[in-house]
Structure 1
Amino acid sequence: MITLLRPLTRAVTYTRWLHMLLGGLPSLVAMMVIGSPDPEPASWVLMPVVVVLPLMAVAALVPQTRVLEAAQARGLLFPGPHARERGEDPGISAGPSASWGDRGRVLCWLVLRVVSGVAVGIATFWLTGQSMGLAFGPAGGATDLVWPGVWLSWYALLAPVPSVLLLLLVILAGRLEAAAARRLLGPSAAERMAALEERTERLLEHNRLARELHDSIGHALTVAVVQAGAARAAGKPEFTERALTAIEDTGRQALEELDRVLRVLREDAGRDPASRPGLTRLTGLVEAARASGAEVSCTVTGELAGVPGPVSREAYRIVQEALTNVLRHAGTVPVRLRVDAAADALELDVANPLPDGAPALPGGGSGLRGIRERAALLGGRAHTGGEDGAWRVRVRLPLV
């Protein structure tokens, strides 16, 4: 019983009723202005509809009509702040009509609104009159539900029946109109595809930013930890001074990277890829690793400034992650870095001796996975693993 009465306590039931009555309002206005030469009920229904429908066809051609109808449908047909339950996603597009298919669906929606509005309006007027006729007799108006032209006192017991029928009709018609709104005012296939592509791009951007945070912040923390440990072990003021300077520089760079990524996430600034570091800043990356105590030998062939921006930026992150892994897992060991910028491809090779007893098997950490993902996104390939007692990261990125 409570389940049957629950729709009567929901505000959306009555906002849907209002939405349907508003749909029939243009026909009522047309009927009042033009009038009907035929007193038959069918004429009172069909005449205004026939007059209003051509106007609906013209309105459907206007792209912004879809925006207005969608706003009304979202506000009146679906639960929201005005209802007593948590809102649901109506699945209605907020944009204007972009194709003839959208305009055709808007036209169908307008026709449905007019027809359903007239039908619900007539039912509201007639059933309300019948309830009054049953309750108050001749003073409330004639009733045709029980016995035409006759009113008996016990008819008052039947007065709620037309009202109940009206409420059931309103609830059912409101649900059908809400379902029709989802179908006729919902996003088209092209809009759904565009939304899916936008969401995919946003997820890819977030994944890229997460990798950058992992690389830059992880590198800075690793360098700081290694520098602090080396300074404590050395016990020399000169070395401690250099270590603190290196920690300060690395921390400052990490803060700049963090600030840039947070600006992008807040969308306070444009997403300018050129602001990300590239291979032209490779020297600073190598010097930071050297300042941590690692013996880094760097060999560069070719012109790094001529490497395309996307490749240069991703290659910088790959080298950064490789050096970070060396400092984190192998310590201050000799590192051999080779960067070869040829005409058709960029090759990166980072090698360091494996610590005693360390397994020479490819790793599966998030850093190494990020290296492989970066290479794959650029159409290249990456190999990470142990070779002849050394750990190597070899990456080839095409330039053409």
Structure 2
Amino acid sequence: MSSSFSVLLGPLTRAVTYTRWLHLLIASVAGVLTGFLYNKPFFAGGWLTWLWMAVLPLPLLIFAALIPVVRRIEGLQAQLLLIPGPHGVEARAASGIATTPSGSWSDRGRTAVWLLLRLGTGVALSALTVQLPMLAGAFTMAAAGRPSHLKGLPAIEAPHWWYGLLAPLPLVLLAAVAVGAGSLTAAAARLLLGPSAAERLAELEARTERMLAHNQLAQELHDSIGHALTVTVLQAGAARAAGSPEFTERALAAIEDTGHQALADLERALRLLREDAPRPTDRPVLTDAERLLESARAAGSDLRAELSGPLERLPGPVSREGYRMVQEALTNVLRHAGPVPVSVRIAAGDGALELEVRNPLPVPSPHPGSGGSGRGLRGIRERAALLGGEAEAGPDGAEWRVRARLPLPQLR
């Protein structure tokens, strides 16, 4: 029994029932304001008044639906009053109701249908909200032995106590109609104010871009922080083994510089996660490669570098990804081969950017991941593929070679 009462009375305890009721009552305001223009016919009373309220605003609403911003206003109002729960950014996106201006005639047409439907439903509910409590009052008066002659309602000339049994029925009917109309209006809002096919496609593309940005963030953290930790570990180990105060001082300075760079990279990565922050534009590029090379030299590598071509005129994505690819290749050398001689070649020209990192093969086994299973080498290949290029890694005689070629537009 208690469960039956909770099912029946549950909607009346929810705030959204009354916000939806309010949303529909607001719709009848347009009818009231328009009715002032017609003065006497409008205020004739009875059902004719409600009919005027539902008919007079129709031309005005159709014209309003042609204004793109009206769809946004209606969408925001529907999200706030028709959809239960929190109203944050994610909740608004999941509501199924768009809050963008009309972008096509289809959007305008659906907005017009929504405005007309809301007006008709709102006027009908407003009429019941006024008339049904009056009817409950008339029954109560009749039960008390007083005749009822309320305007717009049938007269009760012969009062009797049993009218008291009918008094609650109009209020129960009003509550049921309000709950049902609110639920149907919320469903209609999702249908008529929901995102169009073009908007859904744009949202899908935006979601895909966010996923790619998160994947890029994971790769950036792997490359940058992994390189910094590798250099730090090698520097600390070399300082302990050397037993020289001068070497230890240089190693600590290199560790400090590498740590500062890693912190800067970490801050850039964290800014990518903040939706309210602008996308960072100060990510390292190939013109900053010298600090990367110095970091490897400070870790003990005998590094020879050859940089050629107009690196400062490279497209941003190519230059940034090229920097990360060289960084990952040097990190692999330091991690798997130690402070061995390394040669780096960065050449821009002839329609392509060529990157090459060579070092002697470790004995007796080559780099872990030489078969292509290492995450670092896989990341290099993925970066190259995203830019329309190619990358390869493997033994080349007595050396281990990482080579990438990225296509370039004509540099001027």
TM normalised by structure 1 equals 0.87
Partner of 2:350: 343
- Aligned partners of 1:79 and 1:87 also within 8 Å: no
Question: Amino acid of the residue matched to residue 177 of structure 1?
Answer: T
Greater alpha carbon shift after TM alignment, 323-332 vs 383-392: 383-392
> 1:10 corresponds to which residue?
14
SS of 1:36's partner is helix
- In the other structure, the counterpart of 2:30 is 26
- 1:186 deviation in Å? 2.3
Instruction: Report the counterpart of residue 297 of structure 1 in structure 2.
Output: 304
Counterparts of 2:279 and 2:42, CA distance in 1:
67
1:177 to 185, 202, 212: 185
Matched, 1:364 2:368: no
Q: Is the 8 A contact 1:27 1:52 kept in 2?
A: yes
Change (3 A) 1:56 1:219: same
The partner residue of 1:36 within 35, 38, 41 is 41
Separation (CA, whole Å) in 2 of partners of 1:385 and 1:231: 31
Q: 1:139 to 1:36 in 2, by over 3 A?
A: farther
**115-124 or 280-289: which moved more?**
280-289
How many Å apart are 1:241 and its aligned residue? Answer: 2.8
Matched, 1:104 2:109: yes
Supply the distance in 2 between the matched residues of 1:114 and 1:241 (Cα, whole angstroms): 79
Query: Which has the larger displacement, 27-36 or 121-130?
Result: 27-36
Whether the aligned pair in 1 keeps the contact of 2:147 and 2:159 (CA below 8 Å) is: no
Partner residue in 2 for 1:354: 362
Q: Identical aligned pairs, as a percentage?
A: 54
CA separation of 1:165 and 1:354: change in aligned 2, threshold 3 A: same
Aligned to 1:211: 219
- 1:236 aligns to what? 244
1:87-236 superposed matches below 5 A: 89-137=94-142, 139=146, 141=148, 149-236=157-244
Q: Kindly indicate whether the alpha-carbon contact (under 8 Å) linking 1:360 and 1:391 is maintained by their aligned counterparts in 2.
A: no
| Structure 2 unpaired stretches of 5+ | none
Contact 1:78 1:88 in 2 (8 A): no
Counterpart of 1:251 in structure 2 is 259
Residues 335 and 141 from structure 1, CA distance in 2 versus in 1: closer, same or farther, beyond 3 angstroms?
farther
Residues 309-388 of structure 1 correspond to what in structure 2 (within 5 A)? 309-352=316-359, 353-358=361-366, 361-386=370-395
* 1:277 and 2:281 matched: no
Following the alignment from structure 1 to structure 2, what is the Cα–Cα distance between the partners of residues 361 and 63?
58
| CA distance in 1 between partners of 2:35 and 2:147 (Å) | 25
- Aligned counterparts of 1:37 and 1:220: Cα–Cα separation in 2: 79
Give the TM-score of the pair, scaled to structure 2: 0.84
Counterpart in 1 of 2:402?
A: 393
Contact 1:311 1:397 in 2 (8 A): yes
Unaligned ranges ≥5, structure 1: none
Distance in 2 between the 1:117 and 1:31 partners? 15
3-state SS of the aligned residue for 1:340?
Answer: strand
Aligned-partner Cα distance in 1 for 2:311–2:185? 63
Offset, 1:148: 6.7
Q: How many residues align?
A: 396
| Contact 1:217 1:254 (8 Å CA) reproduced | yes
Distance 1:79 1:140 in 2: 44
Query: Which secondary structure does the structure 2 equivalent of 1:354 belong to?
Result: coil
2:25 maps to a residue whose letter is L
CA-CA distance at 1:292 after TM superposition: 0.9
Alignment of 1:34-113 (within 5 A): 34-36=39-41, 43-80=48-85, 89-113=94-118
Assess if the C-alpha contact under 8 Å between 1:215 and 1:367 holds in 2: yes
Cα distance 1:268–1:12, how it changes in 2: closer, same or farther (>3 A)? closer
Superimposed CA distance per residue, residues 244-293 of structure 1 (whole angstroms, 9 cap, x where no aligned partner): 232222222223333344455447875454x3222223233222212212
SS of 1:93 mapped into structure 2: coil
SS in 1 for 2:41: coil
Look up the equivalent residue of 1:176 and give its one-letter code: L
Question: d(CA) in 2 for partners of 1:207 and 1:41?
Answer: 65
66-75 or 153-162, which deviates more: 66-75
Q: Given that residues 129 and 140 in structure 1 are in contact (C-alpha distance below 8 angstroms), is that contact kept between their aligned partners in structure 2?
A: no
Q: CA deviation at 1:42?
A: 6.0
Contact 1:354 1:360 (C-alpha < 8 Å) held by counterparts: no
Paired residue for 2:293? 286
Separation in 2 of the partners of 1:347 and 1:48? 74
Amino acid at match of 1:288: S
